[in-house]
């Protein structure tokens, strides 16, 4: 397979194992959200490119599906090594392309090789079963890869979220068309063309189509409508995910959907307050709050509310805002000017309606300060919508039970945390929280490749990690073998 793209600053699409310009010949500029500089010029693909990608994936499917598991496994182990060798370059690209701070870049670089190594074992995972039959037949339940998987990934944790969209489907014997976000076409997309080429993945097994801002729709439509695409995975906003799921429903295609969250962190009166402050700060402000699991609301019991609020405000005010390429920066830029303005508008609007600024509250160049608000009115947009930025709302409640009720009063249900020193109480409350992921004595942000990751309610369905992916990306079939002829009634 031809290995290398054109130059550092120019990236073509990765179709059928080749670096290919867009069918239209167009390109777009991929920009650094902090400096505004052009990171690279990238192919602006469209529906024809998506069609070619699906075609290539469909042609590669039969060969890849019957490749012995040991060979498939080896590809993922090599890919993990290949990625690790490029650690510094990838962390730097994460900063340049997505404004990702050093700490979160390193977290992604630690998570993804682990994911690839765990996924390597999936090549052997689809074991079948022999099922007792009353007809005398030898009956089996067998798993087969589904075919072509269409993967749509976001920009925020670009390396992790693109890796998890493609790795398990590929390891299970499927072929994939990846559509990265227009805001992270390299580190959330094209980089995988290089990594997997080096690891020996055959041509056509992974295809990557990139597109200019505002032009995702046509590629998404092709992935949804092309009959050879049998499953879809989507990570992104609830609005886009809903549209995709509706369209996929018309085509009777299964989708794994991981959408937004409005994630609560409960701080109970018996919490170690220093730990609670540290957990809240990390959970709310890592990657400037642009994580689907970010703690958006911190719900604290009244008995400790004043002291907790004061300490949390102080810590929040001390977080360094600025250039994500400086290793001690905690709050880097928001991904786009539009995202920045949405955060700013929602904060200003909440304040106008009566919210109090306990820390932050201001735009600083392309960044928004880590912001803690109290008394956010329930009617404000900030209290109702996921606001993808460094803003947390502090809410005071009279009891842990009130905290649970508040936490559940949202359409979302991705992640949550409960800080308490009473583990039994924590476990009892965790049962009551309506979310796919709950951490006791921790904040909501966290992931490990072997865990069942996903939400309930408007945060989506299906699971990305662990063994759940076997069901998501294979078909279970019933096969029988009748060794004795048996009588038919007519």
Q: Which residues bind ligand ADP (CB under 6 A)?
A: 152-155, 179, 181-182, 216-217, 220, 236-237, 240, 243-244
Q: Smallest Cα–Cα separation from 217: which of 236, 233, 240?
A: 240
- For ligand ADP, give the closer residue by CB, 126 or 236: 236
138 vs 151: CA distance, rounded Å: 37
In the bound state with ligand ADP, the residue whose beta carbon lies nearer, of 244 and 392, is: 244
Q: CA angle 169-449-272, nearest 5°?
A: 155
- Which C-beta is closer to ligand ADP: that of 161 or that of 304? 161
- Cα angle value 343/349/353 (rounded, 5°): 145
Q: Rounded to 5, what percent of the chain is helix, strand, coil? A: 40, 20, 35
Burial of 247 (0-12, 13-18, 19+ CB in 10 A): middle
> Which residue number, 106 or 216, has a Cβ lying nearer to ligand ADP?
216
- The residue (of 243 and 425) whose beta carbon lies closer to ligand ADP is 243
Residue corresponding to tokens 């951490």: 439
Task: Report in angstroms how near the CB of residue 213 gets to ligand ADP at its nearest.
Answer: 8
Helix (H) or strand (E) holding 416: strand 415-419
Q: How far apart are CA 300 and CA 419, in angstroms?
A: 10
Nearer to ligand ADP, 81 or 221 (CB): 221
Contact 373, 387 (CB under 8 A): no
Please state the closest distance from residue 227 (CB atom) to ligand ADP, in A: 18
Yes or no: say if 298 and 376 are a contact pair by the CB < 8 Å rule.
Answer: no
**Smallest gap from residue 442 Cβ to ligand ADP (A):** 24
Backbone angles phi, psi at 384, to 5 degrees: -110, -30
> Which CB, 139 or 247, lies closer to ligand ADP?
247
**Distance in Å, CB of 218 to ligand ADP, minimum:** 8
Residues belonging to the active site: 258, 292
Q: Give the nearest residue (CB) to ligand ADP.
A: 220
Question: Rounded to whole angstroms, how far apart are CA atoms 326 and 304?
Answer: 35
Strands (E), 268-390: 295-301, 356-359, 363-364, 367-368, 371-374
In the complex with ligand ADP, the residue whose CB is nearer, 154 or 322, is 154
**Which segments within 22-147 are labelled E, that is strand?**
27-31, 38-43, 129-131, 138-145
- What angle, 0 to 180 degrees and rounded to 10, lies between the N-to-C axes of helices 158-171 and 69-85? 160
Closest CA to 261 of 68, 472, 8, 445: 445
Q: How far is the CB of 185 from ligand ADP (least distance, A)?
A: 10
C-beta of residue 152 within 8 angstroms of C-beta of residue 244: yes
The token pair at 122 is: 């999936």
**CB of residue 244 to ligand ADP, shortest distance in Å:** 6
Q: Yes or no: say if 470 and 129 are a contact pair by the CB < 8 Å rule.
A: no
* Minimum separation from the CB atom of position 237 to ligand ADP (A): 3
| CB 243 to ligand ADP: min, Å | 6
Measured CA to CA, the distance from residue 254 to residue 242 in angstroms comes to 13
């Amino acid at each position: 397979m031809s290995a290398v793209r054109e130059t550092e600053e120019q990236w073509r699409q990765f179709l059928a194992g080749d670096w290919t310009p867009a069918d239209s010949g167009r390109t777009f500029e991929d920009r650094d959200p902090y400096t505004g500089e052009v990171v690279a010029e990238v192919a602006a693909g469209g529906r024809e490119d998506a069609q070619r990608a699906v075609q290539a994936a469909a042609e590669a499917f039969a060969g890849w599906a019957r490749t012995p598991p040991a060979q498939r496994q080896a590809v993922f182990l090599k890919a993990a090594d290949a990625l690790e060798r490029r650690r510094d370059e990838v962390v730097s690209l994460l900063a340049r392309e997505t404004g990702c701070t050093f700490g979160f870049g390193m977290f992604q670089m630690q998570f993804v090789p682990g994911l690839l190594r765990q996924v390597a074992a999936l090549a052997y995972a689809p074991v079948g079963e022999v099922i007792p039959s009353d007809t005398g037949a030898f009956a089996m339940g067998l798993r087969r890869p589904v075919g072509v998987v269409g993967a749509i990934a976001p920009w925020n944790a670009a390396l992790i979220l693109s890796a998890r969209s493609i790795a398990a489907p590929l390891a299970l014997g499927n072929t994939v068309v990846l559509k990265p976000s227009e805001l992270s076409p390299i580190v959330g997309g094209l980089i995988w063309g290089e990594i997997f080429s080096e690891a020996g993945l055959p041509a056509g097994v992974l295809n990557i189509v990139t597109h200019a801002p505002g032009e995702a729709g046509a590629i998404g439509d092709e992935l949804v409508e092309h009959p050879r695409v049998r499953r879809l995975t989507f990570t992104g906003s609830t609005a886009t995910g809903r549209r995709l799921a509706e369209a996929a429903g018309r085509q009777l295609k299964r989708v794994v959907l991981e959408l937004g969250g409005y994630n609560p962190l409960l701080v109970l009166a018996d919490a170690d307050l220093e730990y609670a402050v540290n957990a809240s700060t990390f959970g709310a402000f890592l990657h400037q709050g642009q994580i689907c699991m970010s703690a958006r609301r911190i719900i604290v019991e009244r008995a400790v509310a004043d002291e907790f609020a004061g300490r949390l405000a102080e810590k929040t005010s001390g977080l360094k805002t600025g250039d994500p390429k400086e290793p001690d920066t905690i709050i880097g830029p928001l991904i786009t000017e539009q995202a920045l303005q949405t955060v700013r508008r929602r904060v200003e609007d909440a304040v106008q309606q009566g919210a109090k600024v306990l820390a932050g509250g201001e735009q600083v160049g392309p960044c928004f300060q880590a912001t803690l608000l109290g008394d956010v009115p329930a009617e404000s947009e900030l209290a109702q919508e996921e606001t993808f930025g460094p803003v947390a709302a502090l809410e005071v409640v009279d009891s842990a039970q009130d905290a649970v009720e508040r936490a559940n009063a949202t359409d979302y249900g991705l992640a949550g945390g409960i800080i308490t020193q009473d583990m039994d109480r924590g476990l009892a409350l965790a049962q009551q929280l309506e979310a796919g992921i709950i951490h006791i004595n921790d904040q909501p942000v966290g992931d490990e490749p072997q865990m069942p990751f996903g939400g309930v309610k408007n945060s989506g369905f299906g699971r990305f990690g662990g063994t759940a992916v076997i069901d998501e990306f294979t078909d279970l079939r019933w096969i029988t073998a009748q060794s004795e002829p048996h009588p038919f009634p007519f």
